[in-house]
């Protein structure tokens, strides 16, 4: 048997705000969408041409309060070809939430508080 990882899921409170963040911050665009027949949820799969892996944003109609992310130990990682340019861009956006210069990485935070690691090509 062979398994292929195809997507990760996160739940979001404001779908449009999250989609805009992922497009502006990381260049991800909507690849496909599924809307429940009763409108109780929407799934939006975000991706780009750099990798087949997608990020599934799940919006639940009855969810009104922010998600409890615990200690936020979970994160997704993005490798970028121009690390310095990405760093300056994210700094201008005001989304950098943690930096580790020793490791040569930093993290940005999305509208729901999920952390996303940014690292250079090595």
Q: Is 52 left (phi over 0), alpha (psi -120 to 50) or beta?
A: alpha
Catalytic, 117? Answer yes
Burial code of 46-85, b = ≥16 C-beta within 10 A, e = fewer?
Answer: bbbeeeeebbbbebeeeeeeeeeeeeeeeeeebebeebee
Backbone angles phi, psi at 90, to 5 degrees: -70, -30
The residues that are catalytic are 117
């Amino acid at each position: 048997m062979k398994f292929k990882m195809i997507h990760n899921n996160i739940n979001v409170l404001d779908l449009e705000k999250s989609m805009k963040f992922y497009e502006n911050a990381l260049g991800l665009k909507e690849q496909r969408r599924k809307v429940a027949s009763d409108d109780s949820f929407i799934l939006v799969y975000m991706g780009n041409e750099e990798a087949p892996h997608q990020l599934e944003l799940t919006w639940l109609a009855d969810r009104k309060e922010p998600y409890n992310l615990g200690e936020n130990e979970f994160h997704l990682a993005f490798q970028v070809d121009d690390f310095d340019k990405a760093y300056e861009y994210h700094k201008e956006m005001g989304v950098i939430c943690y930096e580790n210069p020793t490791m040569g990485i930093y993290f940005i935070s999305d509208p729901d508080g999920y952390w996303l690691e940014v690292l250079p090509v090595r």
